[in-house]
Structure 1
Amino acid sequence: MKRIDVVELYVKKRIEKLEETQGEYKVNAKEITELKDVLDVINQTQPNVKYASVGKING
């Protein structure tokens, strides 16, 4: 597993935990927003998997 995948997984799980515990007072809203921004950056920096691997054409 790549390092960025581990970070992405951690951030997603952290968001889930915060959303479970925030309740009606939205006490974790700021932290959740910041973590979602981190996920956006991760998603923007990851190459598109469909086009990332360029293989040798057998001819």
Structure 2
Amino acid sequence: MFLNETVRDYCRDGGIEFTRCRPYRKNDQAFVEQKNGAVVRRIVGYRRLEGLEAAAGLAQLY
């Protein structure tokens, strides 16, 4: 599982526990990724973003 330090620290401070998925529900992750993609694409768009300028723009957005 990929998790950056900012998200890790936020969750730790908020008492959010990470689990891989629910037992016997192998499709959970695909559903979550689909929803994440829909939300991000609606706000950010479909273009590929690269470089420091793009990172700064996304940081400001978040």
Higher helix share: 1
Whether the TM-score (by the shorter chain) exceeds 0.5 is no
- TM-score, normalised to structure 1, is 0.34
State the structure with bigger RCO (CA 8 A, min sep 6), 1 or 2. Answer: 1
TM-score, normalised by the number of residues in structure 2: 0.33
